[in-house]
Chains A and B, each alone.
Chain A
Amino acid sequence: MTRFVERHPAWALIIIIAIAVALWLIFAVWPPGLEEAIGRKRVFLNALFNGITLGGLYFLVASGFTLIFGLMRNVNLAHGSLYLFGGYVGYAISASTGSWILSFIIAFILTALVGVLLQVLVFRRMEGQDLRQTMVTIGLSIVFADLMLWACGGDFYQIQTPNWLIGPIELPLITAVKSSGEPVYLRYPAVRLVIFAASVVIGVAMWLALNRTRIGMIIRAGVDDRDILAATGVRIQLVFVLVFAFGAGLAGIAGVVGGTFQSLSPGEDIRFLLASLVVVIVGGMGSIPGAALGALIIGLAEQLGSVYIPTYAIVVTFLIMVLVLAIRPQGLLARR
Chain B
Amino acid sequence: MSLAHDARVAVRPAAEAQRPAQTWPEVNNPAAWIVAVILLIMPLIANGFFLIEIFATTLILGTIALSLMLLAGYGGMVSLMQLTIAGFSAYMVAVFGISGNANISLGWPWWLAVPMALALATIFGTLGGALAVRTEGIYTIMITLAIGAAFYYFTNQNWAIFNGHTGINTVGTPHFWGVDWRADIPFYYIVLAVGALCYFAVDYISRAPFGLALQGVRDNPRRMAALGFNVNAHRIAAYAVASFIAALAGVLQVWNYRQISPGSVSVNACIDILIIAIVGGITRPIGPYIGALIFVLLRTFALDFLVKIGLDGNRFRLLIGLGFLAIVFWSSDGVIGLWQRWRQSQRRPADRPGGGRSHG
A: which residues have CB within 8 A of B? Answer: 73, 75, 77, 126, 128-132, 134-136, 138-140, 142-143, 145-147, 150, 270, 273-274, 277-278, 280-281, 285, 310-315, 317-318, 321-322, 325-326, 329-330
Question: Are A142 and B324 in contact, with the CB atoms below 8 A?
Answer: yes
Assuming the A-B contacts A131-B2, A278-B146, are A73 and B138 also in contact, with contact meaning beta carbons closer than 8 angstroms in the complex? Answer: yes
Q: Looking at the complex, which one of B135, B137, B149, B150 makes contact with A130 (CB distance below 8 Å)?
A: B137
A126 to B3, CA, bound (A): 11
Q: Which residues of A contact B268 (CB under 8 A)?
A: 142, 270
Please report which residues of chain B, range 296-350, place their CB below 8 angstroms from some CB of chain A when the two chains form the complex.
Answer: 312, 314-315, 317-318, 320-322, 324-325, 328-329, 332
Other A-B pairs beyond A140-B321, A142-B320, 13, CB < 8 Å: A129-B3, A131-B2, A131-B78, A131-B141, A135-B324, A274-B150, A278-B146, A281-B146, A312-B158, A314-B154, A314-B157, A321-B143, A326-B134
Contacting A270 at CB < 8 Å: which of B131, B267, B318, B322? B267
On whether the beta carbons of A131 and B4 are closer than 8 Å, the reply is: yes
In the complex, 21 of the A-B residue pairs with CB atoms within 8 angstroms, ordered by the A residue number, are A73-B138, A77-B145, A134-B138, A135-B274, A136-B325, A138-B324, A140-B325, A142-B268, A142-B271, A142-B275, A142-B324, A146-B321, A150-B318, A270-B267, A273-B149, A277-B149, A281-B142, A285-B139, A314-B150, A318-B146, A329-B134
Whether B190 is near chain A, meaning CB under 8 Å from some CB there, is: no
| Residues of chain B lying within 8 A (CB to CB) of residue A325 | 131, 134-135, 143
Instruction: Determine the main DSSP class of A at the interface with B.
Output: helix
Once bound together, how far apart are the Cα atoms of A126 and B332, in whole Å? 12
A76 to B: closest C-beta gap in Å: 11
Contact of A314 among B2, B145, B153 (CB under 8 A): B153
**Are A277 and B142 CB-contacts (below 8 A) given A131-B2, A131-B78, A143-B325?**
yes
Residue contact A143 to B131, C-beta cutoff 8 Å? no
A32 to B4, CA, bound (A): 62
Closest chain-A Cβ to B182's Cβ sits at a distance in Å of 32
Does residue B278 face the partner (Cβ distance < 8 Å to A)? yes
Indicate if B160 sits at the interface (CB-CB under 8 A): yes
Verify A139–B157 contact, CB threshold 8 A: no
Closest 6 pairs (CB-CB, A-B): A142-B321, A129-B2, A143-B321, A139-B325, A274-B149, A146-B318
| Closest residue of B by beta carbon distance from A313 | B157
Tell me which residues from 227 to 281 in chain B have a Cβ below 8 Å from any Cβ of chain A: 267-268, 271, 274-275, 278
Q: Chain A residues with Cβ under 8 A from B325's Cβ?
A: 136, 139-140, 143
Range of interface residues on B (Cβ < 8 Å): 35 or more
Point out the residue from A73, A135, A142, A277 that lies within 8 Å of B146, measured CB to CB: A277
Contact partner of B315 (CB less than 8 A), chosen from A126, A128, A146, is A146
Q: Does B210 contact A (CB under 8 A)?
A: no
Q: Are B131 and A322 in contact (CB under 8 A)?
A: yes
Residue of A nearest to B142 (CB): A277
Residues of A within 8 A of B38 (CB): none
B1 interface residue (CB < 8 Å to A): yes
A122 CB to closest chain B CB, in angstroms? 9
A79 to chain B, nearest CB (A): 11
- Asked, given contacts A143-B318, A311-B159, whether A274 binds B138 with beta carbons under 8 Å apart, the answer is no
Write out the residue numbers on chain B whose beta carbons fall within 8 Å of the beta carbon of A140.
Answer: 321, 325
Q: Is the CB of B138 within 8 A of A130?
A: yes
Distance between Cα atoms of A131 and B321 in the complex (Å)? 17
Closest A residue by C-beta to B312: A150
The residue in chain A whose Cβ has the minimal distance to the Cβ of B278 is A135
Give the docked Cα–Cα distance between A310 and B325 (Å): 39
CB-CB under 8 A from B332, the residues of chain A are 132
Residues in B whose Cβ lies below 8 Å from that of A150: 312, 314-315, 318
